[in-house]
Structure 1
């Protein structure tokens, strides 16, 4: 039996949305972006265009007495030819900061991608909705975290009581930039992506600029971070530079310096933490590029392989060990004049012992348990007393 119509309809407006840097009016609805229009205009890469429009860390936040909340959306889902079905995007519901439900949206558009050719075909679909019932009737703060793996146009909220935007939390804002692992790849849900877990533990507001396949030291991303209000910033650098094989060591060091210089132009004094890659055995000493493992794809398993040759390190091709060593050198040198600049070896978040217990299922991305581990360890390092992101007085 269809659900009864709800008495209150509220358009999704910018004051209801957190974690997005831009909101685009589209025929489908309000589309959250994690890069502003100026940065998007300078980007020509389809992978980054897709990644920044997937709303990892973006959520609606409002106050209400409603016991039923329905969010109408137009999702865009991906299908890969010959690969196992991708998990449906999940929406996480929080009530006064506590998990209170999960749902997936019906309807929406479908993009079919042929990984062997790179071709993509879009099939439009109807608007869908996610519905949460049985909420407590008292006044409360409700958050709906959007799927990290689906482009999501926001249409309207439907409730059985009025809603109003949640007031500012008063918490510090943490801006994090990184790769697909920071974006959320293979996490269980949007609030269990490791930066979201770390933000909850650290009691900070998250702006997640983790872009799948696209943490490539792009100057327009550095300018975006420069111009975005934040109290804390972390930059997870390295794995995508190896994946994409986009530069050699000669270019890497100056590019890191330039990225940090630009960020510091807008945030000269706040804590800035540079994080090197977590362990990824296939690329520790073997350069990229990273390629799909089509032998495993034929078995219905999505997996990756390192297509480079270790001998190419002599030509300056990047490996994870080389990246870590150079990042540590750069941060150590700069920290002499920048006491709020810090470094963290990513293997402290996920290292050899962790890989033995929680191996990377596709040889590249951590599973949900590893996301929880990384989030817990990052919070323990960064937000604890004496850590680079410790609250004032701690």
Structure 2
């Protein structure tokens, strides 16, 4: 702890968090969750458990005159055998809406994955301290965006001036669900993930249910969307279903209908945007499953390859082109009775020309610059005057109450 300041400790509570649907009190402190306890109780998949506990889009928000802030946290980091170490998770400091600093907690737990045999090793670590100093003594709104890619237990918050919960911003709440690309994949920082960029440009409050490897039309995720207050909702469907080879075309259509039916139970007239996958060349016409390129791992590079046979799509295996065609059909059919349901082809966010200019580094996930491009395009297509999320859109089924 920095001893140069007269510190005031503020209890960490759900009242100081935005973007989390639930909090868990652990032996160390407060653990934000992006799925409610009921959904977590119905899940048996370790990948989803890891993804929903990583606080993508979750931020501490408070008002203070403090010139110095300290946050004690215990992150859980990921490492991969044979791959260069991943960068430490980044915390973004936002002061009155502008980024004013960044930092990392270098200590923490580490889970090491061996992708050649599927084993994991857990090494426990100790908490660390994030520190921001030299801030203005004026009254100001503070947000600390937590690392989108590290499970983060919050232990203590200290400031050199009192803290108050931030005023309600009065902005519309945008609830988004998607895959690792929406979760943040290889974005540089939590405010650099494409949903956070789009939310900033669109002037809305983000609740991000982008769940790496886990946008799988799970009923408990649909119920979480149904039960979360929101003014705008989007669901980005497809890539995980393909790269996990989870279902066939016969099951896909009814599963999409069921997922949307559940969301509509809680949000009957809220603008709802269905987004199909962005371009991913390895899966455009080749089914899954997707697997790490073991030859690349031997050279210290992480890349992915599609293991299916294009001919198998004739028997109902899903490819991205099949998914896009089916999603377009389903939305067109439902929109006849649901005028607030909309469709966006993901290739309008990242298509062939973009792939030529900014190829996916591991053939599956976008990098930081591509996240920016996707976020800017989504904001232009969704939030501007002609978009489904325009200010004039019908939001009678929504509410600006935040979790």
Q: Which residue of 2 aligns with 1:145?
A: 145
CA contact (8 A) 1:64 1:142 kept: yes
Q: Which residue of 2 aligns with 1:218?
A: 218
CA contact (8 A) 2:271 2:393 kept: no
Shift of 1:2: 5.8
1:50 alignment partner, SS class: helix
Q: Which residue of 2 aligns with 1:97?
A: 97
Q: 1:26-37, aligned counterparts within 5 Å?
A: 26-37=26-37
Q: Which residue of 2 aligns with 1:168?
A: 168
Q: 1:324-339, aligned counterparts within 5 Å?
A: 324-339=324-339
Q: Which residue of 2 aligns with 1:200?
A: 200
Q: 1:104-183, aligned counterparts within 5 Å?
A: 104-183=104-183
Question: Is 1:375 the equivalent of 2:380?
Answer: no
Q: Distance in 2 between matches of 1:329 and 1:342?
A: 12
1:55 alignment partner, SS class: coil
Structure 1: gaps of 5 or more residues: none
Q: Which residue of 1 aligns with 2:261?
A: 261
Shift of 1:107: 1.8
Shift of 1:385: 0.6
Shift of 1:5: 5.2
Q: Which residue of 2 aligns with 1:69?
A: 69
Q: Distance in 2 between matches of 1:266 and 1:159?
A: 40
- Mean Cα deviation higher: 157-166 or 96-105: 157-166
CA contact (8 A) 2:247 2:318 kept: yes
CA contact (8 A) 1:11 1:155 kept: no
Q: Which residue of 1 aligns with 2:390?
A: 390
CA contact (8 A) 2:88 2:106 kept: no
CA contact (8 A) 1:288 1:319 kept: yes
Shift of 1:190: 0.1
Q: Deviations over 1:37-58 (max 9, x none)?
A: 0000000110000000000000
CA contact (8 A) 1:6 1:158 kept: no
CA contact (8 A) 1:64 1:161 kept: yes
Q: Distance in 2 between matches of 1:172 and 1:6?
A: 38
Q: Deviations over 1:279-331 (max 9, x none)?
A: 00010000000000011111111110000000111110000000000000000
Q: Distance in 1 between matches of 2:86 and 2:168?
A: 35
1:362 alignment partner, SS class: coil
TM-score when normalising by structure 2? 0.96
Q: Which residue of 1 aligns with 2:399?
A: none
Question: Is 1:59 the equivalent of 2:62?
Answer: no
Shift of 1:158: 1.0
1:93 alignment partner, SS class: strand
1:60 alignment partner, SS class: strand
Q: Distance in 2 between matches of 1:56 and 1:253?
A: 29
1:226 alignment partner, SS class: helix
Q: 1:289-308, aligned counterparts within 5 Å?
A: 289-308=289-308
- Mean Cα deviation higher: 276-285 or 5-14: 5-14
Q: Which residue of 2 aligns with 1:24?
A: 24
Q: Number of residues paired by the alignment?
A: 394
Q: Deviations over 1:227-266 (max 9, x none)?
A: 0000000000000000100100000000000000000000
CA contact (8 A) 1:84 1:302 kept: no
Q: Distance in 2 between matches of 1:294 and 1:119?
A: 15
CA contact (8 A) 1:186 1:366 kept: yes
Q: Which residue of 2 aligns with 1:348?
A: 348
Question: Is 1:364 the equivalent of 2:364?
Answer: yes
Q: Distance in 2 between matches of 1:88 and 1:125?
A: 14
Q: Distance in 2 between matches of 1:140 and 1:117?
A: 50
Question: Is 1:316 the equivalent of 2:316?
Answer: yes
Q: Distance in 2 between matches of 1:381 and 1:183?
A: 20
1:168 alignment partner, SS class: coil
RMSD: 1.2
Shift of 1:6: 4.2
User: CA 1:69–1:81 in structure 2 vs 1: closer, same or farther (change >3 Å)?
Assistant: same
Shift of 1:392: 2.7
Shift of 1:3: 5.1
Q: Deviations over 1:128-160 (max 9, x none)?
A: 111111111100000000001100001111111
Shift of 1:117: 2.1
Shift of 1:108: 1.4
Q: Which residue of 1 aligns with 2:241?
A: 241
